[in-house]
Amino acid sequence: MKLIFRHLLCALLFIITSSSIFPQKITKENIENAEKLIGLDFTDAEQDSMQMILDGLLANFEIVHKVELNNSVPPAVLFNPLPVGFEMPINRDSIKFSNYSYINLPSDINDLAFYTIGELAELIRTKQISSTELTKFFIERLKKYDPVLHCVITLTEERALRQAELMDGEIAEGKYRGLLHGIPFGVKDLLATKDYKTTWGSEVFKDQIIAEDATVITRLEKAGAVLCAKLTMGELAWGDVWFGGMTRNPWNTNEGSSGSSAGSASAVSAGLLPFAIGTETWGSIVSPSTVCGTTGLRPTYGRVSRTGAMALSWSMDKIGPICRSVEDLAIVFHIICGRDGIDQTLYDVPFNYNFDFDLSKMKIGYLKNDFDKKYDFHSQDSVMLLKLKELGFNLIPVDLPKIPVNDISFILDTESAAAFEELTRSNNDDLLVRQIKLAWPNILRATRFVPAVEYINANRIRFLLIQQMENLMKEIDLYIAPSWEGDNLLLTNLTGHPCVVLPNGFSEDGTPTSITFIGKLFDEGRLIAFAKKFQDATDFHKKHPENFLK
């Protein structure tokens, strides 16, 4: 049977290559130019022999281009972050949050702007304030300060007040959904909302309506949370510049808030919302959280549904919360994690969190070689390492795998070029705000020339990286890294490991600095508990930008 199939295949190839089915379009010169990009050198005979096949491929491509593929259609090839032999956690424990019964309504109502989710939740549960009152309070702050920060794309006021009224009715009836009951929040405007535009921060899509609610939003509202705003993002998830300008850092409004979860970090930092949802592909939660002084969680890849979210890189995109405190991360993550029956990249893994975990036996690594370098946050990070030692943790020096991660970072750009192919093909990329050489228009164009073989082999190297990272993580429970120095940020986005980023000081110009804790795959519970232990021993997260206190 195999022999017959082989003969049929050879006959088919003969017919194709000896006919004029595909008129010649690819020239010898085309092939020679392409060789330079892929680092190969074919002979004249080899070039001549492949011309007919290349013409056939071109004809295939032309047909494929006629198939409509919107951004929501994923590739059939799914990224797997699991190392060989990895055993999924299966034990499901009761989640235990801190006790917030100490909290009372402040004499100055403006102080509510910087209360944590847990504190606000206690005020609502005990009827010291209604969800409607709290929602109106934050909507007014959004209206007041957005002209300064440019952090809001769309206010969802009507939807918010409707949800808040519903939550107040349930409280009156004795029904309480949990810590997010009646709590206002915002989302990065790459998450779809059926009642409002979903712009992706882009001039091209500023009038786009996606008639569905993203899974993350649906889950938060089911838990009682109140959507108040769709927040700014760097156009198509790059930077802090969008079609309405540059999102500002509340600590220095002459500067941007970094990206791409620009509005989410800016709004939370300025006390315009208790928490917001951001996304990260390569630093888009870590970076804005750093400069804005917020606390962020980038979950394990495959933890949070991306249904209804703009795709930038199917194998790297992750959705997570940006909050005021570490425990707030757990409160939100507890609700948004898990399978939704649609996103096929999701894993069903328990989230176990206890604020009072016994952490004394944890093995904590740190990237000594990176911390020993001279970089912007070196002094703040050095103090932080000393603080951890004071708390009784023995820090173990560790090294990351020696894999050239920067040289395979084109994985992200290649997937982005596929996600936004129509933008390039239609020339609508000319409408994007940033038109400098190192911006989306040029990146999307240039990456079209990445050969499929190179993309696949880069992912094979990524497979090796995943195995080597697992060898490291078997020796420790988590490790500490500078937020920006070295390869850690890109490397762990490629492997899918979770991280918590939190403020650890201030730079000379008065803007915040941060530190990053990286955990084992699917071990967000212990990671958050450890980060809370450090945060409780400091007060950086309790400091707020002065111009937004009232």
Q: Which tens digits make up the pLDDT trace of 48-62?
A: 999 999 999 999 999
Active site residue 260: yes
User: For the segment 57-111, what is each residue's pLDDT rounded down to a tens digit?
Assistant: 999 999 999 999 999 999 999 999 999 999 999 999 999 999 999 999 999 999 9
Asked if the structure places residue 14 within a domain, the reply is no
Provide the pairing of β-strand 276-280 with 152-155.
Answer: unpaired
User: For the segment 162-213, what is each residue's pLDDT rounded down to a tens digit?
Assistant: 999 999 999 999 999 999 999 999 999 999 999 999 999 999 999 999 999 9
Query: Of the listed 130, 188, 305, 520, which one is catalytic?
Result: 188
CATH number of 293's domain: 3.90.1300.10
Query: Of the listed 260, 289, 315, 325, which one is catalytic?
Result: 260
DSSP string, 322-382: EESSHHHHHHHHHHHBS--SS-TT--------BTT---TT--EEE-HHHHTS--TTHHHHH
Q: Which amino acid is at 497?
A: H
* Residue 21: predicted pLDDT: 54
Asked if the structure places residue 446 within a domain, the reply is no
User: For the segment 353-394, what is each residue's pLDDT rounded down to a tens digit?
Assistant: 999 999 999 999 999 999 999 999 999 999 999 999 999 999
| Number of domains composing the chain | 1
Domain of residue 276: give its range. Answer: 109-349+359-403+454-544
Q: How confident is the model at residue 15 (pLDDT cuts 50, 70, 90)?
A: very low
Distances (CA, A) of 85 to 105, 194, 469, 478, 491: 51, 42, 13, 19, 21
pLDDT at 453 over 80: yes
Q: How confident is the model at residue 545 (pLDDT cuts 50, 70, 90)?
A: very high
User: For the segment 245-291, what is each residue's pLDDT rounded down to a tens digit?
Assistant: 999 999 999 999 999 999 999 999 999 999 999 999 999 999 999 99
Distances (CA, A) of 548 to 169, 252, 294: 32, 11, 15
Asked if the structure places residue 67 within a domain, the reply is no
Asked if the structure places residue 486 within a domain, the reply is yes
Asked if the structure places residue 52 within a domain, the reply is no
User: For the segment 471-526, what is each residue's pLDDT rounded down to a tens digit?
Assistant: 999 999 999 999 999 999 999 999 999 999 999 999 999 999 999 999 999 999 99
Active site residue 101: no
User: For the segment 135-153, what is each residue's pLDDT rounded down to a tens digit?
Assistant: 999 999 999 999 999 999 9
Asked if the structure places residue 102 within a domain, the reply is no
Q: How confident is the model at residue 18 (pLDDT cuts 50, 70, 90)?
A: very low
E-assigned strand segments in 14-61 = none
Query: Of the listed 130, 264, 284, 315, which one is catalytic?
Result: 284
Asked if the structure places residue 374 within a domain, the reply is yes
Separation between Cα atoms, residue 180 and residue 548, nearest integer Å: 24
Active site residue 188: yes
pLDDT at 538 over 70: yes
Provide the pairing of β-strand 184-188 with 226-231.
Answer: parallel
Q: Which amino acid is at 303?
A: R
Asked if the structure places residue 314 within a domain, the reply is yes
pLDDT at 296 over 60: yes
Q: How confident is the model at residue 17 (pLDDT cuts 50, 70, 90)?
A: very low
* Residue 101: predicted pLDDT: 97
